[in-house]
Amino acid sequence: MSSILIKGGRVIDPANKIDKTANVFTLNGKIKSVGAQSPKADKVIDAKGLIVAPGLIDMHVHLREPGKEEEETIASGSAAAVNGGFTSVACMPNTEPAVDSEASAEFVYLQAKRTGKANIYPIGAITKGRKGVELSEMGQLVRGGAVTIISHCEDKDLVPDGVMNDGFISAVLGLRGMPNVAEEVMVYRDIALCELTGGKLHIAHITTRGAVELVRQAKKKGINVTAEVTPHHLLLTDESVKTSSFDPNYKMNPPLRTKQDIEALAKGLKDGTIDAIASDHAPHSPEEKDVEFNIAPFGIIGMETLLPLVLTELVNKKVITLAQAIAKLTVNPARILGLDKGTLTVGADADITLIDLSKEWVINPDEFKSKSRNCPFRDWKVKGKAVKVIVGGQVVN
């Protein structure tokens, strides 16, 4: 038998409405008790002054394997995940070949298991080869380990070769815009289809004030829709492209939008319209990313910066509470993905993240575990860091 006693930390478990100083005891990879008990254990961790939370979940990452292992592998992505405090991540299917079959989903699962670090769950492609012609075998994907379907809401007909938002900044810079309406018309369409079918819909990386309002009204009508937001869409605007002198690390899809959109996102995060925070971790090699802005690929890395940015810019600045932040990184994504995770309930898997809220540090992508360095937050001063990560009752970071 293997056991761990985590002593004297502030336990925050939104799934069970717990926020108190307590001991957490794990036995054979499961949560055995949360409370004042102090049983003997093989390993004792002094958590005084630390937050003890359910293992964090990043429900939107790109790990590139198979196909672009020079940018990221499942092993390096798993290492980056636990370095950022995440015990579980869900990876997107836009690999080469796509995750569109039972075998390809099993490949992701087995590669993750070999790393012995984070739990990794593949998101299945809706169509074979992601070509939009023939549906994938959904049942087989689920049997192979795929967990859900996520909607990237964007009307491609409205953003041909677009690289930026459709506002003043894109016009000044002479770049083709990616208008808010391209996202909003697809959010409206997918919500309408969800209502018609009585299905379940999750909106990835929501970015516009109009889209937030559409989700808010859908929830009021009882439609089963959820949404996520990324730190970069909450903290950066399209002005950043101009002030950074066209740094390709500010190019992502959806694009950075306006201050008014950010205010709407923050409000949606606070009032529960937006359920989860995800990184949309999208690694690219320097050779691929360090080119002219208009031809650079979309995306930035984010698993190792998500937690400190949320703590520094959202919790410390009272945009959301600490309990809200942890809920949007644990129980909420677990429920959306249908995972039995994100909680310290007795009998649950012993996935636990210990967080030091007082840890001050400077973001340096050169020190990351990810294979890529495409990060717009270099040299940002942050406060808060995951200092110990436990997955299945094993300390992995």
Alpha carbon distances (Å) from 306 to 57, 67, 96: 11, 25, 26
- What whole-number distance in Å separates Cα of residue 49 and Cα of residue 388? 13
- pLDDT of 170 above 80: no
- pLDDT of 202 above 90: yes
User: Which pLDDT tens digit goes with each residue over 212-268?
Assistant: 999 999 999 999 999 999 999 999 999 999 899 899 999 999 999 999 999 999 999
DSSP 101-144: SHHHHHHHHHHHHHHTSSEEEEPPPSBGGG-SSSB--HHHHHHT
Q: pLDDT value at position 161?
A: 63
- pLDDT of 159 above 80: no
Contact 165, 238 (CB under 8 A): yes
Domain assignment present for residue 376? The answer is no
> Catalytic: 58?
no
Instruction: Kindly report the CATH number assigned to the domain that includes residue 303.
Output: 3.20.20.140
Domain that holds residue 130: 56-342
Domain assignment present for residue 287? The answer is yes
Please give the tally of structural domains in the chain.
1
Domain assignment present for residue 378? The answer is no
Q: Which phi and psi (to 5°) does residue 47 adopt?
A: -105, 15
- What whole-number distance in Å separates Cα of residue 343 and Cα of residue 45? 19
Q: pLDDT value at position 248?
A: 95
- What whole-number distance in Å separates Cα of residue 268 and Cα of residue 259? 14
Which is catalytic among the residues 166, 280, 349, 351? 280
- pLDDT of 121 above 70: yes
Lowest mean pLDDT among 16-30, 130-144, 253-267, 380-394: 130-144
Pairing of strands 352-362, 51-54: antiparallel
Domain assignment present for residue 7? The answer is no
- pLDDT of 169 above 90: no
Domain assignment present for residue 397? The answer is no
- The residue-averaged pLDDT of 325-340 equals 97
Domain assignment present for residue 45? The answer is no
- pLDDT of 353 above 70: yes
Q: pLDDT value at position 163?
A: 66
**Better-scored residue on pLDDT, 153 or 34:** 34
User: Which pLDDT tens digit goes with each residue over 54-112?
Assistant: 999 999 999 999 999 999 999 999 999 999 999 999 999 999 999 999 999 999 999 99
Domain assignment present for residue 21? The answer is no
Taking each continuous run of H as one helix and of E as one strand, the counts in the chain are 13, 14
User: Which pLDDT tens digit goes with each residue over 370-394?
Assistant: 999 999 999 999 999 999 999 999 9
- What the block records as the tokens of 288 is 């691929």
- What whole-number distance in Å separates Cα of residue 343 and Cα of residue 9? 16
